[in-house]
Amino acid sequence: MATTDDLSSQRFYHGTKADLKPGDLIVSGQSPNSGEQDRATGYVYLTGTLDAAAWEAELAPGDGPGRIYMVEPTGPIMDDPDLTGKKYPGPAKSYRSREPLRVTGEVTDSQGRPLRFYHGTKADLKPGNLIGPGHSPNFGEQDRVTDYVYLTGTLDAAIWGAELALGGGAGRIYEVEPTGPIMDDPNLTNMRYRGNPTKSYRSREPLRVTGEVTDWQGHPPETLQAMKDGLEQLKKLGVEPIED
């Protein structure tokens, strides 16, 4: 078991569909995410991985938008020993506590959209550059151009974009801001899982580069190859991205 002092420098997140404010307490058995197992064990859950919190938010019970809050534990926390029910596909630092979590802030807006967006590519870009639609897609027929440009609120999705992007250069991940309206990416929303757990969006208007993320780690080679094989299979089956 870890004490709050042991992890005082770490940032924690909690995904939910509740509308909360700084200072609110998330209590075991009263959390909107609590199912019968949570009520029986009396734990409330938190994670040190923002992407994992996004999945928890989107898949949480309820009909509202998935919200991601920054939280601090008010008592001891421990590693979550049972990750079998977690849907997030990547490694996650997940914890639980018998004491409430205090909300300290939010990283999504009232509609559940992230306050920071990423774009993965192989292009060499600088702050102020614009990324627009009109490029060849990363999968499907290559003799066409996309009507949209894509962005995401989760680093893992941006990593996939960087690794799968066309071109021979190294994958790059940029922080971006949309210059026009954005919408949920229908290729990844309400597909295998309910909602938009990867916080993936698209726009007909350009994205403006505001910075670059350099301290990211790519997927294991076997995982990347499995993804490429899957995309190649979709191509053979004639599956195309949803563009309308």
- Domains 12-106 and 117-236 alike in fold: yes
pTM comes to 0.79
Class of domain 12-106: alpha beta
Lowest mean per-residue pLDDT among 66-80, 129-143, 162-176: 129-143
The rounded distance, in Å, linking the Cα atoms of 163 and 142 is: 17
Q: According to the model, what pLDDT value does residue 135 have?
A: 73
Find, among 10, 84, 6, 19, the residue nearest to 46 by Cα: 10
CA 168 from chain center: how many Å? 26
pLDDT tens digits, one per residue of 114-168: 999 999 999 999 999 999 988 766 655 556 678 899 999 999 999 999 998 888 8
CATH fold of the domain at 117-236: ADP-ribosylation fold (3.20.170)
Ranges of each domain in the chain: 12-106, 117-236
For range 44-56, the mean pLDDT: 91
- pLDDT of 99 higher than 80: yes
Give the three-state DSSP class for 113: coil
Give me the helices (H) in the chain, please. 36-41, 50-59, 155-164, 221-236
